[in-house]
């Protein structure tokens, strides 16, 4: 039993240390990959070129908002495009190559253009920080680590090693999300002159009782309530107005959500 315990702990330690090392290497390499190489390598991955059966006006209206928001990042080396995936879960993704994916569930949840602009700005923040490449690199690296140390299948040691590696990656992910939030908030201010509406989606998606420290640690994204607090603090620190008018969504983008947000980034 003692030898088995030492073996299991050793495997866990190796997995965690390896993933941490991979994270450092990926964080060094990813920002140094020229965007033109990234586009050449990844533009056809993940089915990004395949647009699901969504009404074309919805895609065009979404692209128009993205174009206006991304124009406030003049140093961008990307040519961005947007895709809509027919998925009920509210989500948005930054895919290598310059593609932003928005799910139909997210479009159904938003209630203003300001809210949508922040979501798109957040994904642009991931491109600015090359987080999409960092996440891809860590995922591939972690899989290679498990393969290299001979871990596979559903054994207890394999599961513990996988959990330890995933937890090691969580801290990186939460930090990236917070940085992308701040960048997206700046783009919203550049477009509308205030931050009102930026945090509305988190208000819509917040769940009662979402205050557990353990839940916050295990989540790749900060808790919705934490994100609202951080956005408010960032806006005040930068001197950005919290109040302002929300711009109505284009009729093609209006979903099923009931407007219930206030007139400013919540206090």
Q: What is the pLDDT of residue 225?
A: 75
Neighbours of 127 (CB within 10 A): 27
Q: What is the pLDDT of residue 67?
A: 96
- 246, 197 Cβ separation under 8 angstroms: yes
Q: Give the whole-angstrom CA distance, residue 177 versus residue 83.
A: 21
Q: Give 169: exposed, middle or buried? Use CB within 10 Å, 0-12, 13-18, 19+.
A: buried
* pLDDT, tens only, 42-84: 766 655 455 555 447 889 999 999 999 999 999 898 889 899 9
Q: Which residue has the higher pLDDT, 50 or 124?
A: 124
Mean pLDDT of 178-196: 94
Give the lowest-confidence range in 106-120, 174-188, 193-207.
193-207
pLDDT > 70? residue 209 = no
Q: Are strands 99-103 and 81-85 parallel, antiparallel or unpaired?
A: parallel
- 231, 197 Cβ separation under 8 angstroms: no
Mean pLDDT of 233-260: 81
Find all residues with CB under 8 Å of 241, minimum gap 6, and list them: 193, 194, 195, 196, 235
Predicted TM-score (pTM) of the model is 0.74
Give the residue among 155, 187, 170, 171 at the shortest CA–CA distance from 8: 155
Where in the sequence numbering do the catalytic residues fall?
123
Q: Give the whole-angstrom CA distance, residue 128 versus residue 218.
A: 25
The token duo for 214 is 């353990």
| Alpha-carbon 182 to chain mean position | 12
pLDDT band for position 260 (50/70/90)? Answer: very low
DSSP per-residue codes, 85-96: E--SS--EEEET
Which residues does residue 74 pair with via DSSP β-bridges, in sequence order? none
Q: What is the pLDDT of residue 194?
A: 95
Q: Give the whole-angstrom CA distance, residue 16 versus residue 168.
A: 6
**pLDDT winner (highest mean) among 94-108, 110-124, 170-184:** 110-124
The token duo for 121 is 């700005």
Give the lowest-confidence range in 34-38, 93-97, 187-191.
34-38
Q: What is the pLDDT of residue 206?
A: 62
Q: What is the pLDDT of residue 208?
A: 54
pLDDT > 50? residue 101 = yes
pLDDT > 80? residue 92 = yes
pLDDT band for position 168 (50/70/90)? Answer: very low
């Amino acid at each position: 039993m003692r030898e088995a315990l030492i073996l299991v702990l050793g495997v866990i330690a190796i997995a965690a240390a390896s993933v941490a090392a991979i994270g450092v290497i990926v964080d060094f390499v990813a920002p140094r990959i020229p965007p033109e190489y990234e586009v050449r390598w990844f533009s056809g991955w993940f089915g990004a070129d395949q647009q699901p059966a969504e009404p074309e006006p919805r895609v065009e209206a979404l692209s128009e908002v993205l174009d206006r928001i991304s124009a406030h990042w003049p140093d961008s080396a990307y040519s961005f495009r947007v895709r809509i995936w027919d998925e009920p879960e509210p989500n948005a993704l930054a895919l290598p190559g310059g593609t932003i994916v928005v799910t139909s569930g997210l479009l159904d949840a938003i209630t203003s253009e300001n809210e949508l602009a922040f979501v798109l700005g957040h994904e642009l923040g991931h491109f600015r920080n090359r987080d999409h490449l960092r996440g891809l690199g860590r995922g591939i690296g972690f899989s290679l680590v498990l393969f290299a140390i001979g871990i596979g299948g559903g054994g207890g040691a394999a599961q513990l090693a996988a959990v330890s590696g995933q937890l090691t990656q969580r801290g990186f992910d939460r930090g990236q999300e917070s940085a992308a939030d701040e960048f997206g908030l700046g783009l919203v201010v550049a477009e509308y002159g205030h931050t009102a509406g930026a945090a509305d989606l988190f208000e819509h998606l917040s769940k009662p009782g979402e205050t557990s420290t353990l839940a916050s640690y295990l989540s790749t994204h900060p808790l919705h309530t934490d994100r609202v607090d951080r956005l408010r603090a960032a806006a005040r620190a930068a001197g950005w107005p919290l109040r302002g008018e929300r711009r109505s969504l284009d009729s093609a983008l209006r979903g099923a959500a009931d407007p219930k947000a206030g007139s400013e980034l919540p206090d």
